[in-house]
């Protein structure tokens, strides 16, 4: 094996006899560098060639091996180099201390040639395996970031523009990629269709299905004014395309000229409707089966008039199911109450206020689902940008 190809071992010991024995055992297979004290070891470890493994005597004058190891582990440049202690001590407390400061193993004196070679080989192989795993994880992270960017690109860059409607939306993925989705079909300057959907599960499979949903939804322009027909068409397109997952969805079509909305759902949380005059919030439920599993599923729609100042709210279940530290859900009732108290905000300010309220509710607890929230305010109500009411 060439000198350049050999792994580098840093041997740290103040006893010439020990240095001679270990060097004789390893020199044919590895490039051995030698330090006779802790200070010299810390100098050598930061100079080329950087060691792949450190064999470190515990009992040395001045700085002992435990202190050297601790300093190595506190330095980002050297903390990943495995340290194997060389010692004649056999007390459990001594060995425990070595592991506590970051050592990976012990080789006991007097040295056995077979044991020294086996321990050195094993820990070098373990380090190579860890480094390979780290490279693979870095590649996965890079791929997930690419996937995240691609997924974000399938979402609308900004809400659709329709005269008389104030629209805002937010999307927050629990992980790099997610299964929530929303999009618009803009029929003309007075009519708009809006879909919010949630793919079961998380991660890459859910993200791929949401990408399929993007394509399928874009092909349903002919059903834009017919929510039941649109969901049925989406269901037919998705059935048979995947297993082990399903899609819940809510679709609303708004005609600002006729002043009506039509709504249909597929196993999705209810749409919330806030009256501009009364300020009360009601649930609109018109649910069929979720999408992608039942080819013969039938959907129905409900039609409602609307007035200036009315609101509708579409969302995925990650919002009402968000838990606080006591595992209590935020719930639809709290969401209704928040909408009831904050109907004077613009749609964008309402979205921001809701996210702030959810953050307050979670109180540091890790989010366990993707979040999508879409608010539409029929313009004509009072606009303010003041603080939200909790």
Between the alpha carbon of residue 92 and those of residues 168, 262, 361, 372, the distances in Å are: 63, 74, 48, 55
Residue 147 lies in a domain: no
Q: For residue 188, what are the β-bridge partners?
A: 191
Measured CA to CA, the distance from residue 105 to residue 86 in angstroms comes to 9
- Per-residue model confidence (pLDDT) at position 148: 67
In a domain, 387, yes or no: no
Is residue 331, in this structure, part of any structural domain at all? yes
Query: DSSP states of 241-281 as a string?
Result: S-SS--EEEEEEEEETTTTEEEEEEES-PPEEEE-TTT--E
C-alpha angle 155-161-165 in degrees, rounded to nearest 5: 115
Judgement on whether residues 231 and 354 belong to the same structural domain of the protein: yes
Mean pLDDT of 270-274: 97
Is residue 176 pLDDT above 60, yes or no? no
Residue 13: pLDDT over 60:
yes
> What is the average per-residue pLDDT within 224-240?
96
Give me the mean pLDDT over the 107-121 stretch: 94
Is residue 123 domain-shared with residue 185, that is, in the same domain? no
> Which residues span the domain enclosing 250?
156-378
Domain count, the chain: 2
**Within this chain, do residues 114 and 166 fall inside the same structural domain, yes or no?**
no
Domain-located, residue 384 = no
Query: What pLDDT shows up at residue 4?
Result: 53
| CATH code assigned at 340 | 3.60.40.10
204 and 117 within one domain: no
The average pLDDT across 240-249 equals 91
pLDDT at residue 185 in the model: 95
The domain boundary, picked from 104, 135, 166, lies at 135
Both 345 and 238 in a single domain?
yes
Give 389's pLDDT tier (boundaries 50, 70, 90).
low
Q: Tell me what the mean pLDDT of segment 46-57 comes to.
A: 93
CATH number, domain of 111, equals 3.40.50.2300
> 390 in a domain, yes or no?
no
Say yes or no: 107 and 171 in one domain: no
pLDDT, mean over the chain? 90
Query: Could you tell me if residue 2 is inside a domain?
Result: no
């Amino acid at each position: 094996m060439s000198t350049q190809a050999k792994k580098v071992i840093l041997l740290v010991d103040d006893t010439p006899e020990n240095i001679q024995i270990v060097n004789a055992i390893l020199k044919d297979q590895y490039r051995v560098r030698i330090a006779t004290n802790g200070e010299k070891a810390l100098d050598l470890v930061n100079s080329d060639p950087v060691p792949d493994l450190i064999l470190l005597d515990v009992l040395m004058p001045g700085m002992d091996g435990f202190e050297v190891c601790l300093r190595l582990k506190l330095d980002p440049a050297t903390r990943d180099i495995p340290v194997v202690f060389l010692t004649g001590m056999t007390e459990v407390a001594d060995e425990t201390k070595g592991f506590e400061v970051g050592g990976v193993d012990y080789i006991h004196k007097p040295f056995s040639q077979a044991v020294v070679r086996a321990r050195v080989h094993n820990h070098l192989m373990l380090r190579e395996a860890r480094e390979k795993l780290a490279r693979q994880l870095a590649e996965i992270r890079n791929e997930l970031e690419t996937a995240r960017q691609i997924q974000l690109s399938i979402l609308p860059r900004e809400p659709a523009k329709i005269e008389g409607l104030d629209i805002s939306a937010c999307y927050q993925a629990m992980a790099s990629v997610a299964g929530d989705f929303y999009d618009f079909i803009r029929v003309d300057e007075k009519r708009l269709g809006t879909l919010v959907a949630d793919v079961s599960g998380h991660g890459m499979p859910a993200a791929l299905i949401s990408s399929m949903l993007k394509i399928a939804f874009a092909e349903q322009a002919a059903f834009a004014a017919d929510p039941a027909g649109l969901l049925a068409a989406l269901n037919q397109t998705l059935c048979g395309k995947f297993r082990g997952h399903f899609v819940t969805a809510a679709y609303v079509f708004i005609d600002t000229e006729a002043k009506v909305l039509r709504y249909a759902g597929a196993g999705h949380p209810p749409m919330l409707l806030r009256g501009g005059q009364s300020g009360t919030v009601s649930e609109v439920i018109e649910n069929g089966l979720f999408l992608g599993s039942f080819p013969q599923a039938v959907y129905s729609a409900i039609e409602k008039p609307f007035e200036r100042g009315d609101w509708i709210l579409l969302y995925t279940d990650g919002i009402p199911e968000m838990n606080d530290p006591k595992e209590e859900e935020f719930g639809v009732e709290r969401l209704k109450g928040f909408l009831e108290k904050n109907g004077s905000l613009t749609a964008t300010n309402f979205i921001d206020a809701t996210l702030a309220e959810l953050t307050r509710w979670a109180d540091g607890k890790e989010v366990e689902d993707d979040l999508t929230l879409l608010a539409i305010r029929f313009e004509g109500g009072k606009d303010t940008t003041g603080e939200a009411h909790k």
